Chain A
Amino acid sequence: MVTKGSNPMPVPIPVTVVGGFLGAGKTTLINHILSGDHGLKVAVLVNDFGAINIDAALIASTEGGLYSLSNGCVCCGLNQGLVEQVEALLATRADVDHIVIEASGAADPARIMDTVRYARFSGRLRADAIVVVVDAAGFDDAIAMAPGLAAAQIGSADLLVLNKADLVERPELDALRARWALPGTRIVETTRARLPFAILFAGGSFHHGPASSFTAAPVHETATSVTWRHVGVIDLKRLQAVLTRLPATVYRAKGFLRADDGRCIAVHLAGTRLAFEAVANMPEGMGAENILVLIGFGESLSFETALKQLDGCAGSVASPVKGAA
Chain B
Amino acid sequence: MRVLYDHRSSHASQSGFADLVLINGRIYTGDPGMPWCQALAVARGRIVARGERADIEHLVGVETKVMDLGGRFAMPGLYDMHTHPDLALAPRYAEDLDIGIVDPTPDQVRDAVQAYAAKYPDREWIYGQYFVRYTFRQVGLVPGREWLDTVMPDRPVALLDRMWGTMMVNSEALRRAGIGADTPDPANGYLERDPVSGEPTGLLIDGAYALIHAAMPQTPVAVLRAAYRDGVRYQSARGVVATKYVHVCENRLGALQSLDQAGELTLRVEAAISWQDDIFPVRRRWELLAGERHYYRSARLNANAVKFHFDGTVEPRSSYLITPWDGANAGWSGKLNLTPEHLADMIWDMDRQGIRVIAHCTGDAASDTFLDAVEAVRRRPGGLNIRHQCAHSTILHGGNLRRFRDLNVTAEFSPVSWYPSKFVSGARSGYGPERLSRAYNIKGVLEAGGVAVIGTDWPVSPLDPWIALETLVTRANPWGEGEGRFGEPIPLPLAIDVMTRNGAWSMGIEHDAGSLEVGKSADIIVLDRNLFEVEPQGNIHSAKVDLTFLQGQLVHDRLNENPGAVWYGEPPRLW
On A, residues with C-beta under 8 Å from B are 64-66, 79-81, 83-84, 87-88, 91-92, 108, 110-111, 114-115, 117-120, 122, 148, 151-152, 154-156, 182-185, 236-237, 240, 272, 274-276
A-B contact pairs, 30 of them (CB 8 A): A81-B317, A84-B317, A84-B325, A84-B330, A84-B332, A88-B329, A88-B332, A92-B329, A108-B165, A110-B165, A114-B166, A114-B205, A114-B206, A117-B190, A118-B187, A118-B189, A118-B206, A122-B185, A148-B103, A148-B162, A151-B134, A152-B163, A155-B132, A155-B134, A182-B138, A183-B138, A183-B140, A240-B195, A240-B196, A274-B195
CA of A191 to CA of B225, assembled, Å: 60
CA of A132 to CA of B132, assembled, Å: 18
Interface of B is mostly: loop
Contacts A152-B163, A182-B138 given; does A80 touch B325 at CB 8 Å:
yes
Kindly provide the distance from the CB of B164 to the nearest chain A CB, expressed in whole angstroms.
Answer: 9
Other CB < 8 Å A-B pairs besides A80-B327, A114-B190, A184-B140, 10 of them?
A80-B325, A81-B316, A108-B165, A110-B133, A110-B165, A114-B189, A119-B186, A182-B137, A183-B137, A183-B138
Question: B184 at the A/B interface (Cβ < 8 Å)?
Answer: yes
Chain B residue at minimum C-beta to C-beta distance from A79: B327
Q: Which residues in window 138-191 of B have CB below 8 A to A?
A: 138-140, 162-163, 165-166, 184-190
Kindly provide the distance from the CB of B474 to the nearest chain A CB, expressed in whole angstroms.
Answer: 31
Q: Do B332 and A87 touch (CB < 8 A)? A: yes
Chain B residue at minimum C-beta to C-beta distance from A119: B185
From B185, B196, B330, B430, contact of A91 by CB (8 A): B330
By a CB distance below 8 angstroms, the chain B residues around A81 are: 315-317, 430
Closest 5 CB pairs of A and B: A155-B134, A119-B185, A183-B140, A276-B195, A182-B137
CA of A81 to CA of B330, assembled, Å: 12
Q: Do B133 and A155 touch (CB < 8 A)? A: yes
Q: Do A276 and B137 touch (CB < 8 A)? A: no
Question: B328 at the A/B interface (Cβ < 8 Å)?
Answer: yes
By a CB distance below 8 angstroms, the chain A residues around B139 are: 183
Q: Do A91 and B132 touch (CB < 8 A)? A: no
From A88, A156, A237, contact of B196 by CB (8 A): A237
Q: Do A119 and B133 touch (CB < 8 A)? A: no
By a CB distance below 8 angstroms, the chain A residues around B62 are: none
CA of A21 to CA of B326, assembled, Å: 29
CA of A40 to CA of B135, assembled, Å: 36
Q: Do A64 and B187 touch (CB < 8 A)? A: no
Chain A residue at minimum C-beta to C-beta distance from B142: A244
On B, residues with C-beta under 8 Å from A are 102-103, 132-135, 137-140, 162-163, 165-166, 184-190, 195-196, 205-206, 315-317, 325-330, 332, 430
By a CB distance below 8 angstroms, the chain B residues around A64 are: 329
CA of A274 to CA of B132, assembled, Å: 21
CA of A183 to CA of B140, assembled, Å: 6
Chain B residue at minimum C-beta to C-beta distance from A268: B195
CA of A111 to CA of B162, assembled, Å: 12
Q: Do B134 and A154 touch (CB < 8 A)? A: yes
The total of Cβ contacts below 8 Å across the A-B interface reads 101
CA of A185 to CA of B140, assembled, Å: 10
Kindly provide the distance from the CB of B416 to the nearest chain A CB, expressed in whole angstroms.
Answer: 19
Contacts A118-B187, A276-B195 given; does A110 touch B163 at CB 8 Å:
yes
Q: Do A65 and B327 touch (CB < 8 A)? A: yes
Q: Do A119 and B187 touch (CB < 8 A)? A: yes
Kindly provide the distance from the CB of A38 to the nearest chain B CB, expressed in whole angstroms.
Answer: 26
From A84, A118, A155, contact of B328 by CB (8 A): A84
By a CB distance below 8 angstroms, the chain A residues around B430 are: 80-81
Chain A residue at minimum C-beta to C-beta distance from B314: A81
Kindly provide the distance from the CB of B251 to the nearest chain A CB, expressed in whole angstroms.
Answer: 31
CA of A54 to CA of B332, assembled, Å: 28
CA of A272 to CA of B140, assembled, Å: 11
Kindly provide the distance from the CB of A247 to the nearest chain B CB, expressed in whole angstroms.
Answer: 14
Q: Do B329 and A91 touch (CB < 8 A)? A: yes
From B137, B187, B195, B317, contact of A275 by CB (8 A): B195
By a CB distance below 8 angstroms, the chain A residues around B206 are: 114-115, 118
Kindly provide the distance from the CB of B291 to the nearest chain A CB, expressed in whole angstroms.
Answer: 39
Q: Do B187 and A120 touch (CB < 8 A)? A: yes
Q: Do B189 and A152 touch (CB < 8 A)? A: no
Chain B residue at minimum C-beta to C-beta distance from A274: B195
By a CB distance below 8 angstroms, the chain A residues around B329 are: 64-66, 88, 91-92
Chain A residue at minimum C-beta to C-beta distance from B318: A81
CA of A65 to CA of B332, assembled, Å: 16
Kindly provide the distance from the CB of A82 to the nearest chain B CB, expressed in whole angstroms.
Answer: 9
Contacts A80-B327, A152-B134, A240-B196 given; does A119 touch B184 at CB 8 Å:
yes
Q: Do A152 and B132 touch (CB < 8 A)? A: yes
CA of A118 to CA of B206, assembled, Å: 9
Kindly provide the distance from the CB of A239 to the nearest chain B CB, expressed in whole angstroms.
Answer: 8
CA of A83 to CA of B206, assembled, Å: 14
CA of A120 to CA of B330, assembled, Å: 15
By a CB distance below 8 angstroms, the chain B residues around A84 are: 317, 325, 328, 330, 332
CA of A130 to CA of B532, assembled, Å: 59
Kindly provide the distance from the CB of B167 to the nearest chain A CB, expressed in whole angstroms.
Answer: 12
CA of A83 to CA of B102, assembled, Å: 30
Chain A residue at minimum C-beta to C-beta distance from B334: A84
Best-buried of B205, B327, B329 by chain A (most CB within 10 Å): B329
CA of A272 to CA of B132, assembled, Å: 17
CA of A110 to CA of B188, assembled, Å: 15
Q: Do A151 and B103 touch (CB < 8 A)? A: yes
CA of A240 to CA of B326, assembled, Å: 45
By a CB distance below 8 angstroms, the chain B residues around A240 are: 195-196
By a CB distance below 8 angstroms, the chain B residues around A118 are: 185, 187-190, 206
By a CB distance below 8 angstroms, the chain B residues around A92 are: 329-330
Q: Do A111 and B196 touch (CB < 8 A)? A: no
CA of A104 to CA of B102, assembled, Å: 23
Kindly provide the distance from the CB of A243 to the nearest chain B CB, expressed in whole angstroms.
Answer: 10
Kindly provide the distance from the CB of B319 to the nearest chain A CB, expressed in whole angstroms.
Answer: 11
From A108, A117, A275, contact of B163 by CB (8 A): A108
Kindly provide the distance from the CB of A50 to the nearest chain B CB, expressed in whole angstroms.
Answer: 15
Kindly provide the distance from the CB of A134 to the nearest chain B CB, expressed in whole angstroms.
Answer: 14
Kindly provide the distance from the CB of B255 to the nearest chain A CB, expressed in whole angstroms.
Answer: 34
Chain A residue at minimum C-beta to C-beta distance from B134: A155
By a CB distance below 8 angstroms, the chain B residues around A79 are: 327
CA of A184 to CA of B141, assembled, Å: 11
CA of A64 to CA of B163, assembled, Å: 34
Contacts A80-B430, A110-B133 given; does A148 touch B102 at CB 8 Å:
yes
Q: Do A156 and B140 touch (CB < 8 A)? A: no
By a CB distance below 8 angstroms, the chain B residues around A237 are: 196
Kindly provide the distance from the CB of A319 to the nearest chain B CB, expressed in whole angstroms.
Answer: 23
Q: Do A156 and B195 touch (CB < 8 A)? A: no
By a CB distance below 8 angstroms, the chain B residues around A148 are: 102-103, 162
CA of A229 to CA of B329, assembled, Å: 45
CA of A87 to CA of B330, assembled, Å: 7
CA of A164 to CA of B74, assembled, Å: 67
CA of A11 to CA of B350, assembled, Å: 48
Chain B residue at minimum C-beta to C-beta distance from A181: B138
By a CB distance below 8 angstroms, the chain A residues around B187 are: 118-120
By a CB distance below 8 angstroms, the chain B residues around A276 are: 195-196
CA of A81 to CA of B334, assembled, Å: 12
Kindly provide the distance from the CB of B294 to the nearest chain A CB, expressed in whole angstroms.
Answer: 42
By a CB distance below 8 angstroms, the chain A residues around B140 are: 183-184
Best-buried of A65, A66, A115, A184 by chain B (most CB within 10 Å): A115
CA of A182 to CA of B206, assembled, Å: 25
Kindly provide the distance from the CB of B146 to the nearest chain A CB, expressed in whole angstroms.
Answer: 13
CA of A158 to CA of B329, assembled, Å: 32
Chain B residue at minimum C-beta to C-beta distance from A267: B195
By a CB distance below 8 angstroms, the chain B residues around A155 are: 132-135, 137-138
